[in-house]
Amino acid sequence: MRNVKSKKFTLIAAAIILVLSFTIVLAAQGKDITWFSIFEGNSYKLQLENGIKKLEKTDTAILLGTEDLKALLAEKNKAAEVYMDLNTDKYNVDEKGRIMLPISEEKSYDLGKVFFMGSNGWTARNIDIAIDDSKYLSATNAKSYQSVLKDQAPDYHSRLVNQDNTLPDGYNNENLVTIKGVQAIISNKGMRLDKVTLEALKIMLDKAAADGVKGFVLNSTYRSYSEQKNLFDYRFNERKASGAANPYEEASKVVAYPGTSEHQTGMALDILSVEYPKGSVFSQSKEYAWLKENCWDYGFIPRYPEEKTEKTKISFEPWHYRYIGKPLSLYAKQTGLCLEELVESFQKNKLTSFKASDGDVYLFMLIKKGQDFMLEDGLTMDYTLTELTEEDNLIVIKK
């Protein structure tokens, strides 16, 4: 009996020594050990701040949850806000939001790109995942970074201009050109537009003409500060004479106060038609119907839609069109947002992914003026920088 007990004790002691030895070896490798994890043997795992997570797998793939990956990247890069742009063309994602990583001998995966938002701006790097001999998945160390926005002036065409977002004192668009060569009647000689806006307008009206719509009239384009002031004063006095309780507010609904008018940018214009030369009936014209459907494809938006008057604080103006450029105009069409709402959406969401109707995919990233955009060495992106407000710019990345 004593020999039997002695053998049992010896076996138990040997098992304990074996487990402790295995634990010490793993601890020496820097692993966060739990007793359960010791017996996980053949499982793929993640080392997260709150412990070890075992990953499910199929016969051919490791199933890595997107939220688990985000947590891993946040810990690795010491970032509170993490936005992933996964390479879904290369790796499938199942119905539970798990990335299916093929089990292979390579033991490394390029899953796409990750963006971090910090006090200094945005940082972007590749998502490179490696698997060690113990089947732990980990994010590899980043290379060094380079600044890409240093001394870069933002494009101005998407700038929000309204009562709350006024033009800078002394603002002057130096790229104004006289309107020529457009398939439209020009109501006044010497009318001018921003050069980029005019080129887009020419292309748009050429396409309208090809579609059989040719009766456009350009009624009002660029206005100087003094011209805008004279127009506002006229409407103000008109409302005052009619006995309006608040003539300033009433005038502001139909004419923007100087410094708050898009016409001063040279990127806005009023379009009417030969058949319907008055704004009050322009919405009945075929020209309006064509513009409402197609202007977005050329970088323009109907600036003051009927259903957005509460947001824009401007009465419905079917004749007023604003150039903001693509792909923002395409995003406005798809979402149904006016320019005020677009800006608010970008300010709220920080990073927005958008797939245009032509299949092109874009990322919109809000960045404060004075902040930077850092790219991992070797990483290149097709991007532009555009201005939204006095405080905010937008990085537009084409994937």
For residue range 110-120, what is the model confidence (pLDDT) as tens digits?
A: 999 999 998 89
Q: Are 307 and 176 in the same domain? A: yes
Q: Are 266 and 213 in the same domain? A: yes
Quick one: tokens of 5? 């007990």
35 pLDDT more than 60: no
Mean pLDDT over 369-398 rounds to 96
Q: Is the dihedral of CA 248, 250, 252, 255 positive or negative?
A: negative
Q: Are 172 and 319 in the same domain? A: yes
Domain assignment of residue 58, yes or no: yes
Q: Are 348 and 298 in the same domain? A: no
Q: Which pLDDT band holds residue 36 (cuts at 50, 70, 90)? A: very low
Q: What pLDDT does residue 168 have?
A: 87
Q: Are 354 and 319 in the same domain? A: no
Q: Which of 257, 291, 323 is the last residue of a domain?
A: 323
Domain assignment of residue 330, yes or no: no
> What backbone phi and psi angles, to 5 degrees, belong to 32?
-85, 100
Domain assignment of residue 186, yes or no: yes
Q: Are 372 and 314 in the same domain? A: no
Cβ density class 240-259: b for 16+ within 10 Å, e for less: eeeeeeebeebbbeebbebb
Residues 6+ apart with CB under 8 A from 5: none
Q: How many helices (H) and strands (E) does the chain have?
A: 10, 21
Q: Answer whether 380's CB lies under 8 Å from 150's CB.
A: no
Domain assignment of residue 399, yes or no: yes
What is the total count of domains within the chain? 4
Q: Which residues constitute the domain of residue 96?
A: 40-142
Domain assignment of residue 105, yes or no: yes
Peptide bond into 327 cis (omega under 30): yes
Q: Which pLDDT band holds residue 32 (cuts at 50, 70, 90)? A: very low
Cβ density class 384-395: b for 16+ within 10 Å, e for less: ebbbbbeebbbb
Active site residues: 317
Q: Is the dihedral of CA 294, 295, 296, 301 positive or negative?
A: negative
Q: Which of 270, 291, 323 is the last residue of a domain?
A: 323
Cα Rg for the chain, rounded, in angstroms? 30
Of 371 and 225, the structure prediction assigns the larger pLDDT to 371
Prediction pTM value: 0.83
Helix (H, G, I), strand (E, B) or coil at 128: strand
Domain assignment of residue 147, yes or no: no
pLDDT digits (tens, 9 = 90+) for 232-261: 899 899 999 988 889 888 888 888 888 889
Nearest-CA neighbor of 276 among 265, 287, 266? 287
31 pLDDT more than 70: no
Question: Judging by DSSP bridges, how do beta strands 216-220 and 185-186 pair with one another?
Answer: parallel
Q: Are 96 and 231 in the same domain? A: no
Q: Are 49 and 130 in the same domain? A: yes
Quick one: tokens of 284? 């009945």
The DSSP output letter for 165 is B
Q: Are 53 and 101 in the same domain? A: yes
Domain assignment of residue 329, yes or no: no
Q: Are 206 and 265 in the same domain? A: yes
CATH number at residue 271: 3.30.1380.10
Q: Are 52 and 125 in the same domain? A: yes
Domain assignment of residue 35, yes or no: no
Q: What pLDDT does residue 50 have?
A: 86
Q: Are 341 and 295 in the same domain? A: no
